[in-house]
Amino acid sequence: MTNKTILKALNGETQAVPPIWMMRQAGRYLPDYKATRAQAGDFLSLCYTPDLAAEVTLQPIRRFGFDAAILFADILLLPQALGADLWFVTGEGPRLSTITSDADFAQMKSKDDIHETLSPVYETVKIVARELPKETTFIGFAGAPWTVATYMIAGRGTPDQGPAHALREGNNALFEKIIDLLTVSTIEYLDMQIKAGAEVVKIFDSWAGSLKGDAFEKYAVAPARKITTELKKRHPNVPIIGFPREAGDGYIGFHAKTGVDCVALDNSVSPEWAAANVQKDGCVQGNLKPSHMVTGGQGLIDEVRHIRETFSKGPHIFNLGHGITPDADPDNVTLMIETLRETV
Protein backbone atom coordinates (compact mmCIF):
# COMPACT_ATOMS: atom_id res chain seq x y z
CA MET A 1 0.00 0.00 0.00
CA THR A 2 1.13 3.55 -0.67
CA ASN A 3 0.15 7.00 0.51
CA LYS A 4 1.45 8.57 -2.70
CA THR A 5 -1.55 9.84 -4.62
CA ILE A 6 0.11 9.53 -8.03
CA LEU A 7 0.87 5.86 -7.40
CA LYS A 8 -2.70 5.30 -6.22
CA ALA A 9 -4.03 6.70 -9.49
CA LEU A 10 -1.58 4.61 -11.51
CA ASN A 11 -2.74 1.54 -9.60
CA GLY A 12 -6.29 2.26 -10.75
CA GLU A 13 -7.70 4.05 -7.72
CA THR A 14 -10.31 6.77 -8.19
CA GLN A 15 -9.70 9.70 -5.83
CA ALA A 16 -12.00 12.58 -4.88
CA VAL A 17 -9.19 15.04 -5.61
CA PRO A 18 -6.90 13.84 -8.38
CA PRO A 19 -3.15 14.20 -7.92
CA ILE A 20 -1.41 16.84 -10.00
CA TRP A 21 1.92 17.54 -11.64
CA MET A 22 2.73 19.52 -14.76
CA MET A 23 4.79 18.83 -17.85
CA ARG A 24 7.86 21.12 -17.96
CA GLN A 25 7.05 22.19 -14.41
CA ALA A 26 10.76 22.78 -13.85
CA GLY A 27 11.49 25.36 -16.48
CA ARG A 28 11.72 28.75 -18.06
CA TYR A 29 8.59 30.29 -16.54
CA LEU A 30 10.18 30.20 -13.06
CA PRO A 31 12.64 32.87 -11.90
CA ASP A 32 14.45 30.37 -9.67
CA TYR A 33 15.01 28.12 -12.70
CA LYS A 34 16.45 31.01 -14.70
CA ALA A 35 18.87 31.77 -11.88
CA THR A 36 20.06 28.17 -11.70
CA ARG A 37 20.45 27.93 -15.47
CA ALA A 38 22.54 31.09 -15.42
CA GLN A 39 24.72 29.47 -12.79
CA ALA A 40 25.18 26.42 -15.04
CA GLY A 41 26.12 28.57 -18.03
CA ASP A 42 24.13 26.76 -20.71
CA PHE A 43 21.33 24.23 -21.04
CA LEU A 44 23.42 21.11 -21.59
CA SER A 45 25.70 21.97 -18.70
CA LEU A 46 22.59 22.24 -16.55
CA CYS A 47 21.40 18.81 -17.69
CA TYR A 48 24.79 17.22 -16.98
CA THR A 49 25.53 18.87 -13.60
CA PRO A 50 23.70 16.62 -11.11
CA ASP A 51 23.50 19.08 -8.21
CA LEU A 52 22.00 21.80 -10.43
CA ALA A 53 19.70 19.46 -12.37
CA ALA A 54 18.43 18.10 -9.06
CA GLU A 55 17.90 21.63 -7.79
CA VAL A 56 15.68 22.62 -10.73
CA THR A 57 13.80 19.31 -10.44
CA LEU A 58 13.01 20.13 -6.80
CA GLN A 59 12.20 23.85 -7.22
CA PRO A 60 8.55 23.43 -8.34
CA ILE A 61 7.95 20.91 -5.57
CA ARG A 62 9.06 23.42 -2.95
CA ARG A 63 7.16 26.27 -4.58
CA PHE A 64 3.86 24.60 -5.51
CA GLY A 65 3.64 21.27 -3.67
CA PHE A 66 3.00 19.14 -6.76
CA ASP A 67 2.31 15.45 -6.12
CA ALA A 68 5.15 14.39 -8.41
CA ALA A 69 8.54 15.63 -9.54
CA ILE A 70 9.78 14.81 -13.03
CA LEU A 71 13.46 14.47 -13.75
CA PHE A 72 15.01 17.55 -15.34
CA ALA A 73 16.75 16.35 -18.50
CA ASP A 74 16.10 16.40 -22.26
CA ILE A 75 14.93 13.71 -24.66
CA LEU A 76 17.94 14.37 -26.89
CA LEU A 77 20.51 13.32 -24.30
CA LEU A 78 19.97 9.74 -25.46
CA PRO A 79 20.97 10.34 -29.11
CA GLN A 80 23.96 12.28 -27.82
CA ALA A 81 24.91 9.24 -25.74
CA LEU A 82 24.57 7.14 -28.90
CA GLY A 83 27.15 9.34 -30.63
CA ALA A 84 25.22 12.20 -32.19
CA ASP A 85 26.58 15.72 -31.88
CA LEU A 86 24.11 17.86 -29.91
CA TRP A 87 24.04 21.58 -29.29
CA PHE A 88 21.41 24.23 -28.57
CA VAL A 89 20.95 27.48 -30.48
CA THR A 90 19.64 30.28 -28.27
CA GLY A 91 16.08 31.15 -29.22
CA GLU A 92 15.86 28.35 -31.78
CA GLY A 93 16.29 25.07 -29.91
CA PRO A 94 18.31 21.90 -30.41
CA ARG A 95 20.54 20.94 -33.29
CA LEU A 96 21.93 17.46 -33.98
CA SER A 97 24.24 15.88 -36.48
CA THR A 98 21.97 13.94 -38.84
CA ILE A 99 21.55 10.25 -39.64
CA THR A 100 20.43 9.95 -43.24
CA SER A 101 22.62 7.13 -44.57
CA ASP A 102 23.90 3.71 -43.58
CA ALA A 103 27.35 5.24 -43.17
CA ASP A 104 25.93 7.70 -40.63
CA PHE A 105 24.22 4.88 -38.75
CA ALA A 106 27.41 2.84 -38.66
CA GLN A 107 28.97 5.57 -36.51
CA MET A 108 26.33 5.13 -33.79
CA LYS A 109 27.23 3.45 -30.52
CA SER A 110 25.37 0.45 -29.10
CA LYS A 111 22.81 0.41 -26.29
CA ASP A 112 25.51 -0.84 -23.94
CA ASP A 113 27.73 2.21 -24.52
CA ILE A 114 25.30 4.96 -23.48
CA HIS A 115 25.78 4.89 -19.73
CA GLU A 116 29.07 6.73 -19.46
CA THR A 117 27.56 9.82 -21.10
CA LEU A 118 24.30 9.47 -19.16
CA SER A 119 25.83 8.73 -15.75
CA PRO A 120 25.30 12.35 -14.56
CA VAL A 121 21.57 11.87 -15.23
CA TYR A 122 21.52 8.79 -13.03
CA GLU A 123 23.32 10.74 -10.32
CA THR A 124 20.65 13.46 -10.58
CA VAL A 125 17.99 10.78 -10.06
CA LYS A 126 19.76 9.55 -6.93
CA ILE A 127 19.96 13.06 -5.46
CA VAL A 128 16.32 13.86 -6.14
CA ALA A 129 15.10 10.50 -4.84
CA ARG A 130 16.97 11.19 -1.61
CA GLU A 131 15.67 14.74 -1.16
CA LEU A 132 12.04 14.57 -2.28
CA PRO A 133 9.31 14.79 0.37
CA LYS A 134 8.10 11.33 1.29
CA GLU A 135 4.64 11.95 -0.17
CA THR A 136 5.98 13.06 -3.59
CA THR A 137 6.35 10.59 -6.46
CA PHE A 138 9.46 10.74 -8.67
CA ILE A 139 8.94 10.34 -12.43
CA GLY A 140 11.74 9.49 -14.85
CA PHE A 141 11.29 9.78 -18.59
CA ALA A 142 12.57 9.33 -22.10
CA GLY A 143 11.47 10.33 -25.56
CA ALA A 144 9.72 7.69 -27.63
CA PRO A 145 11.76 6.22 -30.50
CA TRP A 146 9.72 7.88 -33.27
CA THR A 147 9.92 11.35 -31.73
CA VAL A 148 13.66 11.09 -30.99
CA ALA A 149 14.25 9.71 -34.51
CA THR A 150 12.59 12.75 -36.08
CA TYR A 151 15.24 14.98 -34.52
CA MET A 152 18.10 12.62 -35.37
CA ILE A 153 17.07 12.43 -39.03
CA ALA A 154 16.29 16.13 -39.54
CA GLY A 155 18.95 17.50 -37.20
CA ARG A 156 16.35 19.75 -35.57
CA GLY A 157 12.65 20.05 -34.85
CA THR A 158 10.45 20.40 -37.93
CA PRO A 159 6.80 21.46 -38.36
CA ASP A 160 5.66 18.21 -40.00
CA GLN A 161 8.49 15.72 -39.29
CA GLY A 162 8.92 15.62 -43.07
CA PRO A 163 12.54 14.40 -43.20
CA ALA A 164 11.73 11.42 -40.95
CA HIS A 165 8.67 10.53 -43.01
CA ALA A 166 10.76 10.79 -46.18
CA LEU A 167 13.38 8.40 -44.81
CA ARG A 168 10.68 6.05 -43.53
CA GLU A 169 9.25 5.83 -47.04
CA GLY A 170 12.48 6.11 -49.03
CA ASN A 171 14.87 3.90 -47.04
CA ASN A 172 12.70 1.93 -44.67
CA ALA A 173 15.46 -0.53 -43.76
CA LEU A 174 17.64 2.28 -42.40
CA PHE A 175 14.69 3.95 -40.72
CA GLU A 176 13.78 0.74 -38.91
CA LYS A 177 17.36 0.26 -37.77
CA ILE A 178 17.22 3.71 -36.18
CA ILE A 179 13.89 2.91 -34.48
CA ASP A 180 15.19 -0.45 -33.24
CA LEU A 181 18.39 1.09 -31.82
CA LEU A 182 16.40 3.78 -30.05
CA THR A 183 13.94 1.22 -28.68
CA VAL A 184 16.55 -1.01 -27.05
CA SER A 185 18.57 2.00 -25.86
CA THR A 186 15.49 3.59 -24.29
CA ILE A 187 14.88 0.38 -22.35
CA GLU A 188 18.41 0.51 -20.92
CA TYR A 189 18.16 4.24 -20.17
CA LEU A 190 14.86 3.94 -18.29
CA ASP A 191 16.04 0.79 -16.53
CA MET A 192 18.96 2.76 -15.10
CA GLN A 193 16.70 5.63 -14.06
CA ILE A 194 14.50 3.16 -12.16
CA LYS A 195 17.51 1.54 -10.51
CA ALA A 196 18.67 5.01 -9.43
CA GLY A 197 15.32 5.83 -7.79
CA ALA A 198 12.60 6.73 -10.31
CA GLU A 199 9.26 5.34 -9.15
CA VAL A 200 7.37 5.89 -12.43
CA VAL A 201 8.60 6.44 -15.98
CA LYS A 202 6.95 8.28 -18.83
CA ILE A 203 7.48 7.82 -22.56
CA PHE A 204 7.01 11.10 -24.46
CA ASP A 205 5.94 10.60 -28.08
CA SER A 206 5.50 14.28 -28.84
CA TRP A 207 5.17 13.78 -32.61
CA ALA A 208 3.04 10.61 -32.59
CA GLY A 209 0.19 12.54 -34.18
CA SER A 210 1.97 12.78 -37.52
CA LEU A 211 1.99 8.98 -37.85
CA LYS A 212 -1.18 7.77 -39.54
CA GLY A 213 -2.79 4.35 -39.90
CA ASP A 214 -0.39 1.44 -40.05
CA ALA A 215 2.59 3.74 -39.47
CA PHE A 216 1.15 4.71 -36.08
CA GLU A 217 0.80 1.06 -35.12
CA LYS A 218 4.32 0.18 -36.29
CA TYR A 219 6.27 3.18 -35.04
CA ALA A 220 4.28 4.55 -32.07
CA VAL A 221 2.45 1.55 -30.62
CA ALA A 222 4.94 -1.26 -31.25
CA PRO A 223 8.03 0.49 -29.77
CA ALA A 224 6.00 1.58 -26.72
CA ARG A 225 4.87 -2.03 -26.28
CA LYS A 226 8.45 -3.36 -26.53
CA ILE A 227 9.76 -0.81 -24.03
CA THR A 228 6.90 -1.39 -21.61
CA THR A 229 7.05 -5.18 -21.85
CA GLU A 230 10.76 -5.34 -21.12
CA LEU A 231 10.66 -2.79 -18.29
CA LYS A 232 7.74 -4.66 -16.70
CA LYS A 233 9.83 -7.85 -16.77
CA ARG A 234 12.64 -6.09 -14.93
CA HIS A 235 10.53 -3.86 -12.68
CA PRO A 236 7.00 -5.31 -12.45
CA ASN A 237 5.86 -2.79 -9.83
CA VAL A 238 6.98 0.37 -11.65
CA PRO A 239 4.11 2.08 -13.49
CA ILE A 240 4.58 3.47 -16.99
CA ILE A 241 2.82 6.47 -18.55
CA GLY A 242 2.55 6.72 -22.34
CA PHE A 243 1.98 10.01 -24.16
CA PRO A 244 1.24 9.62 -27.88
CA ARG A 245 0.50 13.31 -28.33
CA GLU A 246 -2.22 14.27 -30.82
CA ALA A 247 -2.94 10.59 -31.52
CA GLY A 248 -6.68 11.27 -31.82
CA ASP A 249 -8.44 7.94 -32.27
CA GLY A 250 -5.04 6.33 -31.67
CA TYR A 251 -5.60 6.97 -27.97
CA ILE A 252 -8.37 4.35 -28.06
CA GLY A 253 -6.97 1.00 -26.94
CA PHE A 254 -3.50 2.42 -26.25
CA HIS A 255 -3.52 0.98 -22.71
CA ALA A 256 -4.15 -2.54 -23.93
CA LYS A 257 -1.98 -2.39 -27.05
CA THR A 258 1.12 -1.18 -25.20
CA GLY A 259 0.68 -2.28 -21.60
CA VAL A 260 1.14 1.22 -20.17
CA ASP A 261 -0.58 1.95 -16.86
CA CYS A 262 -1.70 5.44 -17.84
CA VAL A 263 -2.33 7.31 -21.07
CA ALA A 264 -1.50 11.01 -21.05
CA LEU A 265 -3.83 13.14 -23.17
CA ASP A 266 -3.16 16.31 -25.11
CA ASN A 267 -5.78 19.07 -25.23
CA SER A 268 -6.93 18.36 -28.80
CA VAL A 269 -9.38 15.79 -27.38
CA SER A 270 -12.21 16.73 -25.03
CA PRO A 271 -12.39 15.34 -21.51
CA GLU A 272 -15.83 13.91 -22.35
CA TRP A 273 -14.48 12.00 -25.35
CA ALA A 274 -11.44 10.79 -23.41
CA ALA A 275 -13.50 9.67 -20.41
CA ALA A 276 -15.76 7.62 -22.68
CA ASN A 277 -13.09 6.17 -24.95
CA VAL A 278 -9.81 6.04 -23.02
CA GLN A 279 -10.39 6.29 -19.26
CA LYS A 280 -12.64 3.23 -19.43
CA ASP A 281 -9.44 1.21 -19.94
CA GLY A 282 -7.43 2.72 -17.07
CA CYS A 283 -5.79 5.81 -15.67
CA VAL A 284 -5.61 8.93 -17.81
CA GLN A 285 -3.52 12.05 -17.36
CA GLY A 286 -4.34 15.55 -18.54
CA ASN A 287 -5.52 17.65 -20.19
CA LEU A 288 -5.74 21.40 -19.45
CA LYS A 289 -4.72 23.75 -22.28
CA PRO A 290 -1.30 25.25 -21.45
CA SER A 291 -2.61 28.66 -22.55
CA HIS A 292 -4.63 28.81 -19.32
CA MET A 293 -1.31 29.18 -17.49
CA VAL A 294 -0.87 32.46 -19.38
CA THR A 295 -4.40 33.85 -19.27
CA GLY A 296 -5.53 32.64 -15.83
CA GLY A 297 -8.74 34.09 -14.42
CA GLN A 298 -12.21 32.58 -14.35
CA GLY A 299 -11.56 30.68 -17.57
CA LEU A 300 -8.80 28.73 -15.84
CA ILE A 301 -10.95 28.07 -12.77
CA ASP A 302 -13.91 26.86 -14.85
CA GLU A 303 -11.83 24.53 -17.01
CA VAL A 304 -9.99 22.98 -14.03
CA ARG A 305 -13.35 22.22 -12.42
CA HIS A 306 -14.72 20.86 -15.69
CA ILE A 307 -11.80 18.47 -16.22
CA ARG A 308 -11.84 17.33 -12.59
CA GLU A 309 -15.56 16.58 -12.76
CA THR A 310 -15.48 14.88 -16.16
CA PHE A 311 -12.74 12.45 -15.11
CA SER A 312 -14.10 11.96 -11.58
CA LYS A 313 -15.53 8.49 -12.24
CA GLY A 314 -12.14 6.83 -12.75
CA PRO A 315 -8.40 7.08 -12.08
CA HIS A 316 -7.05 10.46 -13.17
CA ILE A 317 -3.84 12.47 -12.82
CA PHE A 318 -4.42 16.17 -13.47
CA ASN A 319 -1.90 17.73 -15.86
CA LEU A 320 -1.63 20.00 -18.86
CA GLY A 321 -2.21 18.75 -22.39
CA HIS A 322 1.38 19.73 -23.22
CA GLY A 323 4.27 21.46 -21.46
CA ILE A 324 3.87 24.81 -19.71
CA THR A 325 5.18 27.67 -21.86
CA PRO A 326 7.87 30.21 -20.91
CA ASP A 327 5.35 33.08 -20.85
CA ALA A 328 3.20 31.40 -18.17
CA ASP A 329 2.51 33.23 -14.90
CA PRO A 330 3.51 31.23 -11.80
CA ASP A 331 0.51 32.73 -9.99
CA ASN A 332 -1.75 30.91 -12.44
CA VAL A 333 -0.07 27.63 -11.50
CA THR A 334 -0.95 28.35 -7.88
CA LEU A 335 -4.54 29.17 -8.89
CA MET A 336 -4.81 25.90 -10.85
CA ILE A 337 -3.64 23.83 -7.89
CA GLU A 338 -5.85 25.67 -5.38
CA THR A 339 -8.88 25.24 -7.63
CA LEU A 340 -8.21 21.54 -8.16
CA ARG A 341 -7.81 20.93 -4.43
CA GLU A 342 -10.77 23.04 -3.28
CA THR A 343 -13.41 21.24 -1.23
CA VAL A 344 -15.67 19.36 -3.60
pLDDT tens figures, 118-171: 999 999 999 999 999 999 999 999 999 999 999 999 999 999 999 999 999 999
What three-state secondary structure class fits 115?
helix
Nearest alpha-carbon partner for 265 in 304, 74, 275, 6: 275
For 308-323, the pLDDT digits (tens) are 999 999 999 999 999 9
Active-site residue, 95 included: no
Q: Tell me the percentage of the chain whose pLDDT exceeds 90.
A: 97
Active site residue 305: no
Please name every residue paired with 241 in a beta bridge, in sequence order, or none if there are none. Answer: 202, 262
- Determine the longest span between alpha carbons in the chain, in angstroms: 61
> pLDDT value at position 266?
98
Would you say the pTM of this structure is higher than 0.75? yes
Structural domains in the chain, CATH included, are 25-261 (3.20.20.210)
For 258-267, write each residue's pLDDT tens digit.
999 999 999 9
Residues 6 or more apart in contact with residue 42 via CB below 8 angstroms:
88
Catalytic annotation on 48? no
Catalytic residue selected from 29, 37, 48, 266:
37
Let me know if 225 is a catalytic residue: no
Selecting among 29, 33, 122, 151, the annotated active-site residue is 151
